[in-house]
Copies of this chain bind each other. A is one copy, B any other.
Amino acid sequence: MARIVTEDIRHFGQHYPKVALIVTASAGGRDGAMTAGWHSSISLKPLLYGVAIAPQRFTYRLIKESREFGINFIPFEQASLAVDIGSSSGEAADKFQRLGIRKEKPLKTGVPILEDAYAAYECRLVDDRPYGDHLWVVGEIVAVHYLEEAFTTAKVLDLERTRPLLYLGGNLYLSSDKDSLTVVKGTA
| A positions within 8 Å CB-CB of B | 1-9, 11-19, 21, 38-50, 52, 71, 73, 76, 79-80, 82-84, 86-88, 98-99, 104, 107-108, 118-119, 121, 126-127, 129, 131-134, 136, 138, 141-151, 154-157, 159, 163-164, 166, 168-178, 180-188
A83 partner, pick from B50, B133, B184, beta carbons under 8 A:
B184
The distance from the CB of A43 to the nearest CB of chain B, in whole angstroms, is 3
With known contacts A43-B52, A180-B175, A156–B134 Cβ distance under 8 A: no
Q: Separation in Å of the A29 CB from the closest CB of chain B?
A: 23
Closest to A51 in B: B40
Partner of A134 from the list B42, B142, B144 (CB cut-off 8 Å) is B42
Distance between A49 CB and nearest chain B CB, rounded to angstroms: 7
B126 A131 Cβ-Cβ under 8 A? yes
